[in-house]
Structure 1
Amino acid sequence: MKKLILFILTLCYLHATPFSVATYNVENLFDLNYDQTEYKEYIPKKGQWDTQIQETKLNNLAQVLNEMNADIVALQEIESQAALDALLQKVPQYQYHHFLKNSKTAVGTAFISKYKLLNPKRVYVTSKSKTIRHIQKVIVLIENKKFHLFNNHWSSKRQPESARIEYALALKKYIDALAHDIDYILLGDFNSNYNEYLSLKQDKKLNDSLGITGINQILNTTLDNEFVLKKNILNHTQKVHYNLWLDLPYNERFSYIYKGHNQTPDNILLSASLFDNQNISYLEESFQVFKPDYLYQNRNIKRWNKNRGYSDHLPIMASFDTKPYVPTKDTLPDYTTGYLYKTKRLDKPLTLKEVMVIYKHDNSAILKQKKSRAIYAFNNAKELNLGEVYDLEVEQIQNYFGLKEIKNFTIVAHKVNTINPSSFYKEANSIDLFDLEQQNEIITNLTGVFKNGYVYFDDKKIKLYAKDKTLLPNNGQNITIMSGHLGYYKSHVQIIIYQKSDFRVN
């Protein structure tokens, strides 16, 4: 019997077919016909949007599609079938395609594929808006195995969150009716960050939904404010989804940049069935942002600008296979503070031994082990004393806009210490302050001039933050940071000070 099972598994692997799926908001590909639904800058007119300018746009998009070479691509912001046909002439490898648009909207969505697209449908979004963009759905057949794809282009953030919840509810209703073993992928421009439930709370304009978001709470990429993870996705009875942004380090999670901040409006959400041992499976560690130098350089996305550039979005893509899912093998944890940066959440408590409190203010503390990294215990360190050493049982960790924190812990042992905590501080001139490996360290001896919220030093600048603004130096003062918390917030490194003694005026 064992030999028979081994034989069957071997056959599965021999006949496996890997393939890639991408999503790309191309930023307004219009045809040359006047339909009265165009944005004003795309009304056909010589020197504004004409044959020559359209040809440049088509050639640039074809360059991206050819070099990315995904097998199936979900596109957003295509005006018409005519615009799609013009693009397909540049990328003839995509023999199969489908376009969808509400006649009252300026742009629609499209699938282009090297594999057959079956049974195209429109998932209707119930809304009072006349310009709603319904969700495009197709079935793909590979090696006689089917999976469903849903192409989304949700309302922009000119609208509050309730507008995006309309899309999420339509999707949820449709996929809840699917059998649990049906493989499907939700992808496209959701105009929602993967962690929207965190950022929404801080935006009164958008938050008309009591903090509920379409992408997180409605589509169940989070449960009880915790992300659904691959290792437990099959344990849930309701339909849940894994967001592939979680596969990347925090600072690499972006397909769009708004006012200098990384954003993830483009998402690929996977059903739980893509992690079982049947039909289609996700290929581990295949998710990526496609960003060659001609698309992205020096924190700048080369967006379309009148007659040059590409798009304000970067494409994202992932690979799948017709063989059973193979999870990444986890290495044994070393149970150091450094290990906490390698994992997204703890399924069970772990013990950190000989952790020193190297800095403390009120109920928060910076903790550090010898020869390992510093980590922040936020608003839960009342029982810890500065300069003392503990064994801690860590129960929960969290990532607060990029900053790793210990959320809950219990003191296991309190130990004698003879080392000065300041000996664990890092000399500012001995490290790269902008290296994320240094986050949560306490730095010392950084001298520079404070101006408009930044410390200027060695032809560089770094933000200086204090919750209590009265703690900050005066503009133009030459200062030296004596004990600064090296933090990270929304893709930006910053130094945090908590008290006047954290710096001196020279």
Structure 2
Amino acid sequence: MRAIILVLILSVFSFATTIKIASYNVNNLFDALDNGNEYRDFKLKSGNWNEKKYTQKIKNIKKVIIAINADIIALQEIENEEVLKELAKNTAYKYATFKTTKNAPVGLGVLSKIKPIKTEYFAVPNVKTRDILKLDFSVDGKFFSLFNVHFPAYKNGFDKQQRAERTLRRALENVKNGVIVGDFNTPYSKNSGKNLLYHIQYAKQYQNLWEFLKPKERFSQNAYGKKRAIDHALLSPDIINSVEISYVCGSYKVYKRGLVDANDYALKINKKPIFSDHLPIVFDLSTDKKEKCKK
């Protein structure tokens, strides 16, 4: 009888899985072909971009991705699907999902070791780029939805940012176990006003994981003399309350290893970031309820 009970206990715990999720704005990862949609500095005829620089950039970003070793990593500022596949080549990532809009310079990518069971796209009205990419996953029979976003920059108009935020809110309707990651181009804040995430954080009660870090540690973009927390990870209340899948306490961090100088600024060559002007953000989810935060 004891042996049977032991087997049953071990069987229950064997189905508990922890997965690592990351988000990384790779900063203008363009290929070495001109299709007419590139930013000016990344057109081959500009003389600022070429095959050698592209190959080195791929090598640099792939090095970071492999070092992070996430199960799922959401990427922003990828030019096209072929670039994403190049990043996945000779890595543990079997699944590559890409989304962009017609004539847009860059798009969104997700590399995963776990097969997505469903993929959806949400277009932001009257904005040339910045569609929202949603992937559904299943781990130990528990389902969750990952949203990868890249909101327009504030300099391009707050109204465009608001359209992206409203599109995301609509996409979140009836979502169970929601995970939102990406570059929101808005700093972390608990105030209303022009805090783009206010409604998602408070009306929809999504937990912003920056809250788990000390103020001095809250930055994900660290170039050109500025440190800003504009990349975010938000989790739905059912994940925070551990209904089926839990946030692993203490797992949220900014990945800096080999990417920053002594002052935590992005490493540069000739005043340009070697890797990116953003840093990856990383956290874990688990189907083991013992990992649930007490907060």
TM-score by length of 2: 0.89
**2:115 matched residue in structure 1:** 116
Deviation at 1:300, TM superposition (A): 1.7
Gaps of 5+ in 1: 1-5, 199-210, 223-237, 331-506
**1:265–1:44 Cα change, 3 Å:** same
- In structure 1, the partner of 2:251 is 286
User: Residue 25 of structure 1: SS of its match in structure 2?
Assistant: strand
- In structure 1, what is the Cα distance between the partners aligned to 2:120 and 2:210? 27
Confirm or deny that 1:155 pairs with 2:172. Answer: no
Q: How does 1:90-129 map to 2 (within 5 A)?
A: 91-126=90-125, 128-129=126-127
Q: 1:56, 1:307 within 8 Å by CA — same for their partners in 2?
A: no
Asked if 1:77 is matched to 2:77, the reply is yes
More helix by share: 2
Listed one character per residue, the Cα deviations across residues 448-504 of structure 1 (whole Å, up to 9, x for unaligned) are xxxxxxxxxxxxxxxxxxxxxxxxxxxxxxxxxxxxxxxxxxxxxxxxxxxxxxxxx
| 8 A contact 1:276–1:325 mirrored in 2 | no
State the shift of 1:32 in Å. Answer: 2.0
Distance of 1:271 and 1:257 partners within structure 2: 28
- Summarize deviations over 1:352-380 as a string: whole Å, max 9, x none: xxxxxxxxxxxxxxxxxxxxxxxxxxxxx
Which has more radius of gyration?
1
Q: CA deviation at 1:197?
A: 3.7
The residue aligned with 1:88 is 88
> Which residue number in structure 1 is paired with residue 132 of structure 2?
135
2:171 maps to 174
Matches within 5 A, 1:52-67: 52-67=52-67
Aligned with 2:260 (options 263, 271, 295):
295
In structure 2, what is the equivalent of residue 43 of structure 1?
A: 43
User: How far, CA to CA, are the matches of 2:269 and 2:278 in structure 1?
Assistant: 10
| SS of residue paired to 1:312 | coil
What is residue 190 of structure 1 aligned with on the other side? 184
| CA distance, structure 1, for counterparts of residue 260 and residue 143 of structure 2 | 33
Indicate yes or no: 2:274 matched with 1:275.
Answer: no
Is the alpha carbon distance of 1:25 and 1:196 closer, same or farther for their aligned partners in structure 2, counting shifts above 3 Å?
A: farther
Write the distance in 2 (CA, Å) between the matches of 1:9 and 1:169. Answer: 45
Residue 215 of structure 1 pairs with residue 209 of structure 2 = no
| Structure 1 Cα separation of the partners of residues 239 and 173 of structure 2 | 16
Cα deviation 1:316-339 (Å, max 9, x = unaligned): 010011122544458xxxxxxxxx
Count of aligned pairs between the two proteins: 291
RMSD: 2.6
Task: Tell me how far apart the structure 2 counterparts of residues 261 and 52 of structure 1 sit (CA, whole Å).
Answer: 29
Unpaired segments ≥5 residues, structure 2: 1-5
- Alignment check: 8 A CA contact 1:57 1:308 kept: no
**Contact 1:165/1:213, CA 8 A, preserved across alignment:** no
Q: Residue 162 and residue 195 in structure 1: after superposition, are their counterparts in 2 closer, same or farther (change >3 A)?
A: same
SS for the counterpart of 2:274 is coil
Query: In the alignment, is the contact (CA less than 8 A) between 1:41 and 1:49 conserved in 2?
Result: yes
Which has more strand, going by share of residues? Answer: 1
CA distance in 2, matches of 1:304, 1:113: 31
Q: Percent identity, please.
A: 30
Query: Which residue, out of 201, 204, 208, partners 1:239?
Result: 204
**What CA distance in whole angstroms lies between the structure 2 residues aligned with 1:28 and 1:302?**
16
2:217 counterpart residue number? 252
Match of 1:30 in 2: 30
Q: Do the aligned partners of 1:120 and 1:136 also contact (CA within 8 Å) in 2?
A: yes
Per-residue deviation at 1:287?
A: 0.3
* Contact preservation (8 Å) 1:120, 1:139: yes
Residues 255/296 of structure 1: CA separation in 2 closer, same or farther (3 Å cut):
farther
Q: Confirm whether residue 317 of structure 1 aligns to residue 282 of structure 2.
A: yes
Counterparts of 2:8 and 2:241, CA distance in 1:
17
Contact map agreement 2:242 2:292 (CA 8 A) in 1? no
Aligned to 1:362: none
RCO comparison, higher one (Cα < 8 Å, 6+): 2
Give secondary structure in 1 for the equivalent of 2:16: coil
Asked if the contact 1:167–1:214 (Cα under 8 Å) also holds between the matched residues in 2, the reply is no
Q: CA deviation at 1:187?
A: 0.5
